[in-house]
């Protein structure tokens, strides 16, 4: 009986912790872009058409994990938070391109460069 009670209590703590954090996977603080990549500037201008293209790619490739609004899910972190948006365009491009196998983020290097830069510009709109 004691073992069952402790097991139930542990399960309740785990479930409660997931509810408290909104079941959103946290960022990997050790995943940082190398300086030379972080310093890269986005070659695209943030026009409505280009950002719209980024939104389309996001909905096709990213929303299933990060949510349609980019606010994160149990599978992937919130992309609209200040910790993401404070990163340079070059750092975001590098992360989109290389992925992170530790966290389950796939590398999207197979996408054309322009689409990856469009994704960066779309991500900038999530914090607004």
- Considering the chain, what percentage of its residues have pLDDT values greater than 90? 73
Number of domains in the chain: 1
User: Mean pLDDT throughout 50-66?
Assistant: 97
Task: Give the domain range for residue 79.
Answer: 27-126
Q: Is residue 39 part of a domain?
A: yes
Q: Is the pLDDT of residue 82 over 70?
A: yes
Q: Is residue 84 part of a domain?
A: yes
Q: Is residue 107 part of a domain?
A: yes
pLDDT at 9: 43
Q: Is residue 94 part of a domain?
A: yes
Give the CATH number of the domain where residue 94 resides.
Answer: 1.10.760.10
Residue-wise pLDDT tens digits, 90-108: 999 999 999 999 989 999 9
Distance CA 70, CA 81 (A): 9
pLDDT at 23: 59
Q: Is residue 86 part of a domain?
A: yes
Q: Where are the alpha helices (DSSP H) in the chain?
A: 2-20, 35-38, 48-61, 63-66, 82-85, 89-98, 113-126
pLDDT at 3: 55
pLDDT at 24: 64
């Amino acid at each position: 009986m004691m073992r069952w009670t402790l097991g139930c209590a542990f399960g309740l703590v785990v479930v409660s912790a997931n509810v408290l954090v909104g079941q959103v996977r946290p960022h990997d603080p050790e995943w940082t872009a190398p300086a030379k990549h972080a310093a890269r500037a986005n070659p695209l201008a943030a026009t409505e058409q280009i950002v719209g293209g980024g939104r389309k790619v996001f909905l096709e490739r990213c929303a299933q994990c990060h949510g349609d609004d980019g606010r994160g899910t149990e599978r992937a972190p919130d992309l609209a938070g200040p910790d993401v948006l404070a990163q340079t365009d070059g750092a975001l491009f590098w992360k989109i391109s290389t992925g992170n196998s530790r966290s389950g983020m796939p590398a999207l290097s197979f996408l054309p460069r322009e689409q990856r830069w469009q994704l960066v510009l779309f991500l900038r709109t999530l914090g607004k």
